[in-house]
Amino acid sequence: MDYDFSKPHEECGVFGVYSPDGALNPAYATYNGLLALQHRGQESCGIAVNNNGVISCYKEMGLVTEAFDDKILNSLVGQISVGHVRYSTAGASARENSQPLVMRYIKGTLAIAHNGNLSNAYELRHELEHRGCIFQTTVDSEVIAYMIARERVEASSIEEAVCRAMPKVHGSYSMIVMSPQKLIAARDPNGFRPLCIGKVENTYVIASETCALDACGADFVRDVEPGEVVVVDADGLRSIMLPVQTKKSLCVFEYIYFARTDSMVDGISVYEARKEAGRLLARQHPVEADMVIGVPESGVDAAIGYSEESGIPFQKGIMKNGYIGRTFIKPDQAARERSVRIKLNSIVSAVKGKRVVMLDDSIVRGTTCAHIVSMLKDAGAKEVHLRISSPPFLWPCYFGTDIPSKDDLIACHHTVEEIGKMSFADSIEFLSLENLPKMLGTNGALGHYCDACFSGNYPAPIPTHSLASKENKYCEPIRKD
């Protein structure tokens, strides 16, 4: 299977349930939660369920609906569960790298689901291997599991072990840890990745996004704070705040592309943020046109905002095939180009003879935009003006987004004018870096986000090595651009 590399990808989504009184069936609730988080990863998925201290787990490659059925879910009986959907940024696409990871050690059993990238995973793994540890995967999540297990030997509880391990692991992580008696959630001190808490009666739910809470009928309680450890057990929910002084740095691309439109992330509506980006673009780069369209899905929200601000009517000009995911077989370059029309197709009657403003969320390599613009012009569009609701990608990301180097970033090698010509657009403009915080309102004004992929201003130390590349070359160095 080949991946659609026209967009950045996020590493994964996590979900957990603590339901001692059966208000939710943990396995089925986790299944529904993972379906809602499927946009965060389509390589593999898994669910681990704890039945009075005995943890059973099922993991498989592919989509949630392909991996699970009633027979499997009915076999996963228990009171606590943790689930995961994965897209690999660190570690090869292989079944052994799927999560949750279930580990048996001297203090019992734990399961872990992790979203993010550790910037010091290589160094920690090197140290652990020289102490005799044997690794079964190439993912940094296993490094976290080892660190927690090692701390648990001397710690009085699993939550104390998590708190003692967190200062030793650097980078981004929103994770859920399941022990025989407890469900624990932790978010790195920068808060790079989202994590939230929901509740149904006496049942607590932890999820990457609020849309997953909605999917299982849980009411939103609050977000897990950066540097916070949340413990759910027989006594209910309690919080432990690590004594760290770090600036909150949520990945701004969660609002631009990663998160689902109906989610609230750290108190901000993803839908409203995307619409505001469109409004900002309309004020920043107006153009005379007959209609505004959006590239499904995240580009549509920005297009609505552009239309509202500019007064140009919003219409549906592109149809998306909702029955294929982000992965499909593409044996050669010609097939890759044709695959755009498998996923997206123009609505001829809507765009023919029209001057079109097309909103998209980002440009990475530039090839997909060129295909879509050509598709619209083949359908009879008189003009196509491309507006991008994010600044140009100029820097690699080391905190969970699949942008490992500058090599494939078109904006690193071409001017905006050149990108426009390569995209066959009549004009092209990006949201300015100065306007980016305005889409987030108060949080943007306070600078509570990470925009390093656009600005190069990294809020935390970056790694010198990765655990594995896409080709599974163990310990491949990362270039420091």
Tell me which residues are annotated as active site: 12
Give the span between the Cα atoms of 337 and 443, in whole angstroms.
39
Determine whether 134 is exposed, middle or buried from the number of CB atoms within 10 Å of its CB (0-12, 13-18, 19+).
Answer: exposed
Q: Are 175 and 112 in contact (CB under 8 A)?
A: yes
Give the span between the Cα atoms of 369 and 86, in whole angstroms.
26
Residue 355, helix vs strand vs coil: strand
427-430 and 383-388 beta bridge pairing: parallel
The strand pairing partners of 318, in sequence order, are 346
Give the span between the Cα atoms of 280 and 207, in whole angstroms.
31
| Those residues with Cβ within 8 angstroms of residue 270's Cβ, 6 or more apart along the chain or in another chain | 254, 255, 259, 260, 261, 262, 263, 264, 301
What does 151-190 look like in DSSP terms, one character per residue? HHTTSSSHHHHHHHHGGGS-B--EEEEE-SS-EEEEE-TT
Closest CA to 114 of 91, 148, 153, 85: 85
**Inter-CA distances, 465 with 453, 462, 468, Å:** 18, 9, 9
Q: Residue 466: what residue type?
A: S
